[in-house]
Structures are given as structure tokens and as C-alpha cells.
Amino acid sequence: MQGQVTVANLGYPRIGEEREWKKALEGYWSGKSTKEAFVAEMERIQLAHIETQKGKQLDSIPVNDFTYYDHMLDMAVMFGVIPARYKHTGDTVSLDTYYAMARGNATATACEMTKWFNTNYHYIVPEISNEAPRLTENKPLSAYRFAKTKAGIEGRPVIVGLYTFLKLSKGFPAAQLPEKIAQFLPVYVTMLQQLEAVGAAWVQIDEPSLVTDTNAEEFALVESIYDRISKEVPKLNIMLQTYFEAAEHYEKLIKLPVSGIGLDFVHDNGGNAASLAAHSWSADKWLGAGIIDGRNIWRADLDAKLAIVEGLLKQVPAERLILQPSCSLLHVPVSLAREVKMNETIKGALAYASEKLDELMLLKALLNGQQESVTADRDKCRDALAQFRALPERNRRDVADSIAAINGVRDGRNLPFSERVHVQRDKWKLPLLPTTTIGSFPQTPEVRQARLKWRRNEWDQAQYDAYVNKEIESCIRIQEEIGLDVLVHGEFERTDMVEFFGEKLDGFLFTQNGWVQSYGSRCVKPPVIYGDVAFAAPMTVKESAYAQSLTSLPVKGMLTGPITILNWSFVRDDLSREAVANQIALSLKSEVLALENAGIEMIQVDEPALREGLPLKKQDQEAYLNWAVKAFRLSTASVKDTTQIHTHMCYCEFHDMIDSILALDADVISIETSRSHGELIASFELQGYDHGIGLGVYDIHSPRVPSVDEMSEMIDRALRVLDPELFWINPDCGLKTRGWAETAPSLKNMIQAAKQAREKLQNVKA
């Protein structure tokens, strides 16, 4: 009998169909549930995930993809990588310590949080000191036993690879990587040996760092890791999993002493397919073929996928081929079953995590000679995609004409910044070290309840507008009382910073339950860009103009930039991302001009996700940055010289893209820095920045109230390398997720720190 392909999953969304995971976390944090009740609920959710996949009849189900917060935090805690500031003692790590690392507490700041490669998922960055690692708990083993005992399955534990774990950690110079590998590898091997001892057949070791630019010396370290593992854990089958791009050092990779290698055939830009065609596959290895998109929600074109797999089968025997998603399904919503209000034509073109597993099983049936049993499903897929592709919203002539004429649209300011800055100082007359916030203020339960009443038509538009206006006025008065120099309206009418704009632009679809995890319990519903994007009517003018009418201080208009809207949406896959970004940019240009015409002449166009879309290969990054910068400038460059354009970015490796950030030509940029404990400031010690800049002086992701001294220290260090005439003082991000009990005291301390800094500068001048 000819061999048959099998199906595996790489990871399932943690949050649950009704966001039960999020609710359990927040209930525990708020003290509404006991530890025992919380753990019981988390185990129930974990089991439900396993049972769902078991019901799909997958050949291999991942375990240990479930976490109480974040998989990288789990690894750090498991290896005893716990910073001294949390005052941890003993072998067992408590939930209090675990969540203090994630969120901070009254005495210790949280660990840094940053993007997981080029996705919108944020992980907790391990802080590795000189303390020797140890195995505090074998979490993959616990997950394996849980699945076997509770669900009766032989699960496949998922573990972050040691190379990726250390590459993504901080606290040691790059030159010490070999030393750190030598320290951690015995503990890592012990963890695997314990899995081998209880009879685990397969372990999935995720090494996404192997798709990034890796030199020969670094790959030699990878070889040393897997040589050691194969010698000390010989009976355990290792599936070395890569994703998000084409693997580096392919010829060496396929020779590693592992049982299987997982490759992404969706986001590899053809690289993995080309490598496989050029080099013979190792006869003793399984190929995990990532052919269903784990990062987007579009239904697979089964005919196209079959063509890919048939090409793979020329290189790999069927019995050694495992069909799987391109990456963990963490990055997509759980199930379409709860999308009961969606347009049926559009819904027919979508697939969430549950449906993607169904697609894999359908492909398996088609490839394993069971075509007759699934013919109807295959025809249904073809018909659904044909109807969707024919929608007029996806084929707008007016949008096509605008894009065709884009070279004639101005994408540069009239005056260079060196001249604009003087014109703007004369207009605004702000104090030295002006203070502001990033935009949003606390979204209280009352605000969310009011929005819900409006959406349910329990309130009409006039009632809702009156409520929002009341909140705006209260927010303006609070900001005036605190002493901020530049105000915001608070964004009480907004949910998510991308969803709000997508709801008002043509070409977007919004889901009922398309939730994905961004970080911790923070879940977002990314808009779906299914058609051509176009401006319909002003989106923010009403609230911003009302706020400005309440005060003599400047109020910033608040927009989300084109690249962030792009990168935080599920984007149509029939156009290039550049083309979609330009559609969004031209739409936002109309909004910027509408704000300016309404008298709002400080306008913040946020781009926190600019780096997030950066290709993982350096050779592809310049092209992305060029069109991303152009899209931002298309949005903002048509304003008057006196109109001040602000932008905001989350923490990133600033030094390697400073030229592109300068090329945005924003008058003021604010950057999230507090979670990096000021490390970003070191970038400016090597290279200056000659536009306005605000480095976030406190971490809004933590519920703690930072002291004046903490913020003063951050300001003082920044002013050693940045021009005080161009420096702004602000929190590191929006305040939507915080409560007023933390927000007001934190901002008051920030204002006090700003006053102290001004006094120091005045004394120096004197």
C-alpha cells in the first residue's frame, strides 16, 4: 500500500471561543476568583482545546502550547530565569512572582515586552543574569501528562528551542551566546530526558530564529545543541519547527540529527520550496509542510494547495510528509461558528483556527485517495472563493484610478523640519520640555457599557454623543488640573485604535468574535480588509473639535497610521501589502486635511506597528521601509507648515531603522521605552536625532504608580544625549487599559518630574 500523508497542528489559540482565558486571568488579577478556582478554570479551557483538536481526528496534537500568560515567560520561569528585583526564593515559582514578571507589582517593574518576530503577538523578554539556570518545573512534561490523563491522547509537547530562547533574551552581550548555551543546555537536556522517560514519542522544538539572518558561526552553535540532544535523548523524536520565513542554511539544517523539520511554505517567498527542489530531502526525516496560512484568515484555495503538495511529494515520500499550518494558530481567531451576523459571501471566504484544521483534514483526504467522500466540500470551496473574488467592493475603478495617479500626490512637507520647527515654536509657544500623553485615557466599565448600549440600539446617536461629550469634558478638565501642556480628547468613543478607523472606511469588515491575543489578557479584533479601501466621511473631527472648543490649550487630533492599520488587520491576499497601504494612506490624507480645516493643527498619526511589518530577512527590509515611509508621508505631508505632525511608536531596535524614522519627517515622535529600562536611550548616545522626540518615561502596561525619581532619572539620562529644545515628556503608550486610580497619580508625578527637569536646565543656563 502506498504511504499516506498525515496532519499535525503546531499550536491552538489560547483565549477560547468566548475569551474564557482572558476573563479567567482578569478575574484572578482583580481578586474575584481564588487561586484554586482560577487554576481549575484554566485546566478546563486547556482540556477544551485538546478535545476540540481530538475531535478533528488530527494525527498529532500539540500540548504545552497553552500558557497562563506567555510561552517565553513560561520558559524563563521553568529555567529559573527570575530577576532579583522580584525577590524570589525557593524552587517553586508562585503565580504572584510569575505575574509580577509579566505585569510588575508595587515594588518591581515588569520585564520588557516586545513583538514575537514580525507578528502582533508580544512576548515577555527573559532577563538572563549570571545565576546558573535550573529546572524549577518541567512544564512540557506536566502538559503531556495532563493531555494523556484527561484526554487520553499522546500529545506532542511544544517547546521553544534553546537557540531561539537565548537569541530573544537579554542581559548578556552577543559574544557570550556560546557560554550561555553551555550553561543552559544541560538543563534543557534534562527536561527532554524526563519527557523521554515517561514515553513521549515526539517533541516539537520551535526555532523560528533559524529563519532570520544567521551566520555560519551561529549555525555551528545550533549544530552543537542538536548534536548534544541527539546523543543524550536518543529515543525522542524531535520535530525541529521553523516558521514565518524561509529557513537559513538549508543544506546544513536538513542534516541536523533530528527526526523531522518543519518548514513554512506560505510565508517563505518561495525560498523553502526552491531549497527543497535544489537539494535532496533526507530519507530518514519527516517534512512538516506548513501549507495552510496560520497568520491570516482567508480560506485556502484547495487546488493551489494541492499543487504545492504534489510538488513536495516529488521530493518527499507521502509517509514522511506531515501537512500542517504555516505556524501556530495563536495568530488567528478560534472559530467561525460564532460569526452569525457576517455577510455570507465574505464568510464563505474565511477560515479561523478550527476551519484551518478542517482544511488540512480535507487536503489529507484528497491526497490519500478519498476524493469521492470530499468532492462536495471541494466544490463548495471553489464556489465560495469565486463568489467572493467577484464582489464589486474588491474591484473599484475609482480606487484603482487614485492608486494609478499616486506619483502625482505630494509626499513631502513644504519646509524642511529645520525651518518648520521655528515657525511652529512661534505658533504654539510651548514651554521647554512640553508634556502630553499618547492619546487614550482609561476606558472604564461605564464607558464600555455606554458603547454597548449604543451598539445594541438601546441608546440613540444623540444619547451616545452626549455621554461621550461628557467624558471628553471631564478628561479635558482633569488634564488641565494635572498641568499637561498639550491635551487629547481621551478617545472614549473608540474601542481598538485600528478597529475604530476600519469601521469608518470602505473596504473593511468587522467580525463579532474574531478575537486574537495581543499580549497577556489583551485581546484585539483585527479588522478584515476584504475590499478596496477608500475614505467615506470625516471620522474624528466631531470629537476632536468639541474637545478643542473646551480649552485654550492645544488638543491633538488622534489618528492611526496607514502601516499600523495594515499590520494590525487581516489583509486581503490578492494585492501586495504596498498597494493596500497606499489605499489606506490616501484615505487618511483626507482625514488629516479635514482635521486641519476644522482648526485641529496638532495631529498625531500613530505608527506603533511600523517595525512589526519589517521582513525578517535584511535583504528585504529596505524595500519595505521605503514604501512604508512613503505611505506615512502620503497621509501627512499635505498640511500647512505650522501644523505639527506627531507620531508614536512602540519599543523597537531603534538604531537599525533611524534613517527611516527620520524619513517619516514627523515633527514629534514619541517612543515607548520604559519597559526596556532606558536601553533605547543608548541608541542616541551613538547617533543623534534632530526632530522632536518624547521617550516614554513610565510603563503604562503595569498597574504600579511610578515615582517622580524614577521618571526624573529617565529624563536626565535622555537629556544627556538629546536636545532639550526638541524633547517632550510623556507616558510610553496610551492609557486606555489603566484605571483612573493609577493614571492621575502617575501623570501628576510625570508633571513634577518635568518641572524638576526644567528647573535643572534653567539653573545650568544661569
Reported as a single tens digit per residue, the pLDDT across 219-274 is 999 999 999 999 999 999 999 999 999 999 999 999 999 999 999 999 999 999 99
Q: What is the pLDDT averaged over residues 719-734?
A: 91
14 is in an annotated binding site: no
Please give the single-letter amino acid code of residue 9. Answer: N
So what CATH class is 429-765? alpha beta
| pLDDT value at 652 more than 80 | no
Q: Which of 498-512, 534-548, 601-615 has the highest mean pLDDT?
A: 534-548
CA distance 320 to 318: 5
612 is in an annotated binding site: yes
Q: Where are the domains of the chain?
A: 6-389, 429-765
Q: Which secondary structure element, helix H or strand E, spans residue 306, and what is its range? A: helix 302-312
| pLDDT value at 49 more than 70 | yes
User: Other CB atoms closer than 10 Å to residue 759's CB: what's the count?
Assistant: 10
pLDDT for 685 equals: 66
522 is in an annotated binding site: yes
What would the pLDDT profile of 290-307 be if each residue is shown by its tens digit?
Answer: 999 999 999 999 999 999
Please spell the DSSP secondary structure of 413-482, one letter per residue: -SS-HHHHHHHHHHHH-PPSS-B---SB----HHHHHHHHHHHTTSS-HHHHHHHHHHHHHHHHHHHHHH
**Mean pLDDT score across all residues of the chain:** 94
- 429-765: same fold as 6-389? yes
Percent of the chain exceeding pLDDT 90 equals 83
**Contact at 8 Å (CB) between 193 and 233?**
yes
pLDDT for 680 equals: 63
pLDDT for 675 equals: 56
Q: What is the pLDDT averaged over residues 397-423?
A: 91
The sign of the torsion formed by the CA atoms of 346, 347, 353, 359 equals negative
pLDDT for 655 equals: 67
CA distance 203 to 196: 9
491 is in an annotated binding site: yes
What is the grid cell recorded at 659? 534613517
pLDDT for 497 equals: 86
Name the band, by pLDDT with cuts 50, 70 and 90, for residue 649: confident
Residue found under cell 471553489: 382
Residue found under cell 517567498: 269
Looking at residue 331, the DSSP 8-state letter turns out to be G
What would the pLDDT profile of 123-146 be if each residue is shown by its tens digit?
Answer: 999 999 988 999 999 999 999 999
| pLDDT value at 678 more than 60 | no
Q: What is the pLDDT averaged over residues 92-108?
A: 94
71 a catalytic residue: no
User: Other CB atoms closer than 10 Å to residue 583's CB: what's the count?
Assistant: 28
pLDDT for 686 equals: 66
pLDDT for 659 equals: 85
Name the band, by pLDDT with cuts 50, 70 and 90, for residue 1: very low
Q: Among 197-201, 214-218, 654-658, which stretch is predicted with the lowest mean pLDDT?
A: 654-658
pTM for the predicted model, two decimal places? 0.90
Beta strands in 24-170, from DSSP E residues, in sequence order:
62-63, 113-115, 122-124, 156-160
| pLDDT value at 714 more than 90 | no
* Bridge partners, 287 (sequence order): 261, 321
Q: Of residues 122, 249, 489, 701, which has the active-site annotation?
A: 701
Grouping H, G, I as helix, E, B as strand and the rest as coil, residue 237 is strand
Name the band, by pLDDT with cuts 50, 70 and 90, for residue 611: confident
Strand order in the sheet with 528-535: 505-509, 528-535, 570-571
User: Other CB atoms closer than 10 Å to residue 641's CB: what's the count?
Assistant: 14
Q: Closest Cα partner for 107 from 90, 123, 127, 84?
A: 84
What would the pLDDT profile of 533-567 be if each residue is shown by its tens digit?
Answer: 999 999 999 999 999 999 999 999 999 999 999 99
688 is in an annotated binding site: no
295 is in an annotated binding site: no
So what CATH class is 6-389? alpha beta
